[in-house]
């Protein structure tokens, strides 16, 4: 028995669909939706500005706080792509159901055209996306209870598949 509600947490690389899919999964399950990027922007301002004014290490600290608060709230929680880098966050995720969203590099390029992601700013965005994903992949895979690829098909098909998976009791729940 856990003291706080278990969240359904979406992790994965930039542009995999954590925000857009997570919002729709929450609607399908009739539960709350929190996106840690959206939450921290509300409190601290735009992400590129935070990186420019205070650097990535500072961003990771406030991201860590946003993740902790969001996990306590429960429901569906979409993390920023780099939140998995924090060891405390990785530890916290063990108490929740974690879904890894993946996407093929050929597909993601078209999804990353806006300038909201400072780690992809400027030239060579796709080369950096690929390197960052390769570096974090073991952390994503270690944390994930299930993986869904968002590269093809309608977004709603991924949403439905995750909602169906989420409704299936975990072995722990079955035997509780
Ligand atoms: N399955 C999908 N099919 C088509 N387009 C998608 C899909 N998932 C996301 N998109 C589009 O890709 C863009 C990026 O998606 P989104 O912001 O949800 O990614 P993210 O994983 O939250 O990225 P970040 O880590 O930067 O927060 C959005 O314009 C979204 O509409
Ligand atoms: O993958 C990352 O490191 C990031 C992903 C976005 O969700 C934002 O949290 C920010 O742009 C950094
Ligand atoms: Mg997002």
The enclosing H or E element of 149 equals strand 146-149
The protein residue whose alpha carbon is closest to atom 4 in ligand 1 is 155
Is ligand 1 within 6 A of the CB of residue 36? no
DSSP 77-145: EEPPTTGGG-HHHHHHHTTSEEEEEE--HHHHGGG--SS--GGG-STTHHHHHHHHHHHHHHHHHHH-S
Can you list the domains of the chain with their CATH numbers? 8-168 (3.40.50.300)
Share of the chain above pLDDT 70, in %: 94
Tell whether residue 122 is among the known ligand binding residues.
no
Q: Phi/psi zone of residue 91: left (φ > 0), alpha (ψ -120 to 50 degrees), beta? A: alpha
The protein residue whose alpha carbon is closest to atom 7 in ligand 2 is 80
The answer, yes or no, to whether residue 175 has pLDDT greater than 60, is no
pLDDT score at 113: 83
DSSP 2-61: -SSPPPEEEE-STTSSHHHHHHHHHHHHT--EEEHHHHHHHHH--HHHHHHHH-HHHHHH
- Closest ligand to the CA of 107: 1
Is ligand 1 within 6 A of the CB of residue 150? yes
* Confidence band for 176, pLDDT divided at 50, 70 and 90: very low
Is ligand 2 within 6 A of the CB of residue 86? no
ipTM: 0.96
């Amino acid at each position: 028995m856990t003291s706080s509600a278990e969240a359904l947490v979406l992790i994965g690389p930039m542009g995999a669909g954590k925000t857009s899919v997570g919002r729709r999964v929450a609607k399908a399950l009739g539960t709350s939706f929190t996106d840690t990027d959206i939450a921290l922007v509300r409190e601290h301002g735009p992400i590129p500005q935070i990186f420019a004014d205070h650097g990535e290490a500072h961003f990771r600290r406030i991201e860590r706080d946003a993740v902790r608060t969001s996990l306590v709230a429960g429901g569906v929680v979409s993390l920023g792509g780099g939140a998995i880098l924090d060891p405390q966050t990785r530890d916290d995720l063990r108490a929740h159901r974690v879904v890894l969203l993946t996407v093929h590099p050929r597909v993601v390029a078209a999804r990353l055209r806006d300038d909201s992601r400072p780690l992809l700013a400027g030239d060579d965005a796709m080369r950096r996306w690929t390197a960052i994903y390769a570096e974090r992949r073991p952390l994503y895979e270690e944390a994930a209870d299930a993986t869904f690829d968002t590269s093809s098909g309608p977004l709603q098909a991924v949403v439905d598949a995750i909602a169906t998976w989420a409704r299936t009791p975990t072995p722990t729940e079955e035997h509780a």
